[in-house]
Protein backbone atom coordinates (compact mmCIF):
# COMPACT_ATOMS: atom_id res chain seq x y z
CA UNK A 1 0.00 0.00 0.00
CA UNK A 2 1.26 3.47 -0.84
CA UNK A 3 2.69 5.48 2.04
CA UNK A 4 0.50 8.49 1.25
CA UNK A 5 -3.25 8.11 0.82
CA UNK A 6 -4.40 8.30 -2.79
CA UNK A 7 -7.31 10.68 -3.30
CA UNK A 8 -10.05 9.03 -5.39
CA UNK A 9 -10.50 10.95 -8.64
CA UNK A 10 -14.10 11.85 -7.82
CA UNK A 11 -12.79 13.78 -4.79
CA UNK A 12 -10.17 15.80 -6.73
CA UNK A 13 -10.50 19.52 -7.22
CA UNK A 14 -12.68 19.79 -10.38
CA UNK A 15 -10.18 22.03 -12.17
CA UNK A 16 -7.33 19.60 -11.44
CA UNK A 17 -9.46 16.72 -12.74
CA UNK A 18 -10.08 18.57 -15.97
CA UNK A 19 -6.49 19.78 -16.40
CA UNK A 20 -5.14 16.24 -15.94
CA UNK A 21 -7.90 14.59 -18.03
CA UNK A 22 -8.18 12.39 -14.97
CA UNK A 23 -11.63 11.01 -15.73
CA UNK A 24 -10.37 9.28 -18.88
CA UNK A 25 -7.03 8.20 -17.39
CA UNK A 26 -6.14 4.87 -15.85
CA UNK A 27 -5.01 4.70 -12.22
CA UNK A 28 -1.43 4.29 -13.39
CA UNK A 29 -1.74 7.33 -15.67
CA UNK A 30 -3.03 9.40 -12.74
CA UNK A 31 0.16 8.39 -10.96
CA UNK A 32 1.47 10.71 -8.27
CA UNK A 33 -1.34 13.19 -8.93
CA UNK A 34 -3.46 10.90 -6.77
CA UNK A 35 -1.32 12.03 -3.84
CA UNK A 36 -0.67 15.56 -5.08
CA UNK A 37 -4.46 16.04 -5.06
CA UNK A 38 -4.10 16.61 -1.31
CA UNK A 39 -2.58 19.99 -2.34
CA UNK A 40 -4.71 20.94 -5.35
CA UNK A 41 -3.24 24.37 -6.11
CA UNK A 42 0.32 23.04 -6.14
CA UNK A 43 -0.84 20.01 -8.17
CA UNK A 44 -2.43 22.33 -10.75
CA UNK A 45 0.86 24.24 -10.96
CA UNK A 46 2.72 20.98 -11.54
CA UNK A 47 0.29 19.90 -14.27
CA UNK A 48 0.60 23.30 -15.98
CA UNK A 49 4.40 23.23 -15.82
CA UNK A 50 4.70 19.65 -17.06
CA UNK A 51 2.18 20.25 -19.86
CA UNK A 52 4.17 23.30 -21.02
CA UNK A 53 7.35 21.23 -21.07
CA UNK A 54 5.61 18.54 -23.15
CA UNK A 55 3.88 20.99 -25.51
CA UNK A 56 7.06 22.95 -26.30
CA UNK A 57 9.44 19.98 -26.38
CA UNK A 58 12.03 20.02 -29.15
CA UNK A 59 14.00 16.99 -27.99
CA UNK A 60 13.04 13.64 -29.55
CA UNK A 61 10.53 11.58 -27.54
CA UNK A 62 12.86 8.58 -27.75
CA UNK A 63 15.72 10.52 -26.14
CA UNK A 64 13.46 11.97 -23.43
CA UNK A 65 12.14 8.50 -22.57
CA UNK A 66 15.64 7.02 -22.37
CA UNK A 67 16.70 9.80 -20.02
CA UNK A 68 13.55 9.42 -17.91
CA UNK A 69 14.06 5.67 -17.54
CA UNK A 70 17.74 6.06 -16.67
CA UNK A 71 16.89 8.58 -13.95
CA UNK A 72 14.10 6.28 -12.74
CA UNK A 73 16.72 3.53 -12.34
CA UNK A 74 18.94 5.81 -10.22
CA UNK A 75 15.91 6.88 -8.16
CA UNK A 76 14.64 3.30 -7.95
CA UNK A 77 11.18 4.66 -8.69
CA UNK A 78 9.33 1.48 -9.54
CA UNK A 79 6.25 3.18 -10.96
CA UNK A 80 8.46 5.34 -13.22
CA UNK A 81 10.35 2.27 -14.46
CA UNK A 82 7.14 0.33 -15.18
CA UNK A 83 5.75 2.94 -17.58
CA UNK A 84 6.51 3.51 -21.25
CA UNK A 85 4.94 6.57 -22.83
CA UNK A 86 3.11 5.95 -26.10
CA UNK A 87 4.81 8.92 -27.85
CA UNK A 88 8.20 7.40 -27.07
CA UNK A 89 7.15 3.94 -28.25
CA UNK A 90 5.99 5.52 -31.51
CA UNK A 91 9.40 7.26 -31.72
CA UNK A 92 11.34 4.00 -31.48
CA UNK A 93 11.53 2.97 -27.82
CA UNK A 94 11.65 -0.81 -27.63
CA UNK A 95 12.44 -3.10 -24.75
CA UNK A 96 15.72 -3.99 -26.46
CA UNK A 97 16.64 -0.32 -26.40
CA UNK A 98 15.59 -0.07 -22.75
CA UNK A 99 17.96 -2.97 -21.97
CA UNK A 100 20.76 -0.82 -23.45
CA UNK A 101 20.35 1.44 -20.44
CA UNK A 102 22.09 -1.17 -18.29
CA UNK A 103 25.41 -0.07 -19.85
CA UNK A 104 24.50 2.90 -22.03
CA UNK A 105 28.00 4.03 -22.92
CA UNK A 106 28.73 0.57 -24.38
CA UNK A 107 25.43 0.28 -26.28
CA UNK A 108 25.55 0.11 -30.08
CA UNK A 109 21.90 1.08 -30.50
CA UNK A 110 22.13 4.47 -28.75
CA UNK A 111 23.14 7.55 -30.70
CA UNK A 112 25.97 9.84 -29.62
CA UNK A 113 23.38 12.48 -28.71
CA UNK A 114 21.47 9.99 -26.55
CA UNK A 115 24.67 8.92 -24.81
CA UNK A 116 25.58 12.56 -24.08
CA UNK A 117 22.10 13.20 -22.64
CA UNK A 118 22.22 10.01 -20.57
CA UNK A 119 25.69 10.88 -19.25
CA UNK A 120 24.35 14.28 -18.19
CA UNK A 121 21.32 12.66 -16.53
CA UNK A 122 23.55 10.10 -14.76
CA UNK A 123 25.71 12.86 -13.31
CA UNK A 124 22.69 14.97 -12.38
CA UNK A 125 21.04 12.04 -10.59
CA UNK A 126 24.12 10.70 -8.80
CA UNK A 127 26.71 13.49 -8.42
CA UNK A 128 25.50 16.79 -9.84
CA UNK A 129 28.75 18.54 -8.89
CA UNK A 130 30.54 16.25 -11.38
CA UNK A 131 28.81 18.18 -14.19
CA UNK A 132 31.53 20.42 -15.56
CA UNK A 133 32.45 22.44 -18.64
CA UNK A 134 33.30 19.25 -20.55
CA UNK A 135 29.85 17.83 -19.86
CA UNK A 136 28.25 20.94 -21.35
CA UNK A 137 30.69 20.93 -24.28
CA UNK A 138 29.65 17.32 -24.97
CA UNK A 139 25.99 18.38 -24.92
CA UNK A 140 26.66 21.34 -27.25
CA UNK A 141 28.02 18.94 -29.86
CA UNK A 142 24.43 17.64 -30.26
CA UNK A 143 22.01 20.19 -28.83
CA UNK A 144 21.22 23.90 -28.97
CA UNK A 145 21.40 26.03 -25.81
CA UNK A 146 17.59 25.94 -25.59
CA UNK A 147 17.61 22.14 -25.87
CA UNK A 148 20.24 21.89 -23.13
CA UNK A 149 18.02 24.01 -20.88
CA UNK A 150 15.03 21.85 -21.85
CA UNK A 151 16.99 18.70 -21.01
CA UNK A 152 18.16 20.13 -17.69
CA UNK A 153 14.65 21.13 -16.63
CA UNK A 154 13.29 17.72 -17.60
CA UNK A 155 16.04 15.87 -15.72
CA UNK A 156 15.47 18.08 -12.65
CA UNK A 157 11.76 17.18 -12.63
CA UNK A 158 12.57 13.49 -13.09
CA UNK A 159 15.17 13.44 -10.32
CA UNK A 160 13.10 15.39 -7.78
CA UNK A 161 9.63 14.04 -8.40
CA UNK A 162 10.92 10.56 -9.17
CA UNK A 163 12.57 10.43 -5.77
CA UNK A 164 9.38 11.69 -4.17
CA UNK A 165 7.33 9.05 -6.00
CA UNK A 166 9.80 6.36 -4.93
CA UNK A 167 9.31 7.32 -1.27
CA UNK A 168 5.53 7.20 -1.71
CA UNK A 169 5.96 3.56 -2.86
CA UNK A 170 3.09 3.47 -5.38
CA UNK A 171 3.41 -0.12 -6.52
CA UNK A 172 -0.03 -1.73 -6.09
CA UNK A 173 -1.07 -1.60 -9.76
CA UNK A 174 2.37 -2.35 -11.22
CA UNK A 175 3.31 -5.58 -13.02
CA UNK A 176 4.88 -8.24 -10.80
CA UNK A 177 8.53 -7.54 -11.62
CA UNK A 178 8.17 -3.96 -10.40
CA UNK A 179 6.09 -4.75 -7.28
CA UNK A 180 8.53 -7.09 -5.55
CA UNK A 181 9.75 -5.10 -2.56
CA UNK A 182 12.24 -7.81 -1.60
CA UNK A 183 14.45 -6.94 -4.59
CA UNK A 184 17.01 -4.41 -3.40
CA UNK A 185 17.43 -2.81 -6.83
CA UNK A 186 15.52 -3.32 -10.01
CA UNK A 187 15.88 -1.98 -13.54
CA UNK A 188 13.46 -0.68 -16.17
CA UNK A 189 13.60 -4.14 -17.74
CA UNK A 190 12.58 -5.98 -14.53
CA UNK A 191 9.07 -6.71 -15.72
CA UNK A 192 6.55 -6.27 -18.51
CA UNK A 193 6.03 -2.50 -18.88
CA UNK A 194 2.73 -0.72 -19.32
CA UNK A 195 2.30 1.72 -22.21
CA UNK A 196 0.39 4.86 -21.24
CA UNK A 197 -0.63 8.01 -23.06
Q: Provide CB contacts within 8 A for 123, sequence distance 6+.
A: 130, 131, 135
Tell me if 84 sits within 8 A of 178, measured CB to CB.
no
pLDDT at 84 over 90: yes
Is position 3 within any domain?
A: no
pLDDT score for 194: 95
Confidence of residue 184 (pLDDT cuts 50, 70, 90): confident
Confidence of residue 183 (pLDDT cuts 50, 70, 90): confident
Can you give the residue range of the structural domain that contains 51?
A: 9-55
Same-domain status, 114 and 163:
yes
Cα–Cα dist 17/1, whole Å: 23
Number of structural domains in the chain? 2
User: At 135, which CATH number?
Assistant: 1.20.1290.10
Task: Please give the helix or strand (H or E) that residue 194 lies within, else none.
Answer: strand 194-196
Global confidence as pTM: 0.95
Amino acid sequence: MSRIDKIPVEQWDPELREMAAADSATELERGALRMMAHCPEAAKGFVTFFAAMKRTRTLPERLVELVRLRVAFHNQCRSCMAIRYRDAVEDGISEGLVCSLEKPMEADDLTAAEKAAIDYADRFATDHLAIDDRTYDDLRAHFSEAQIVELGMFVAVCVGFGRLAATWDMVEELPDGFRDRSAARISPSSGAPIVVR
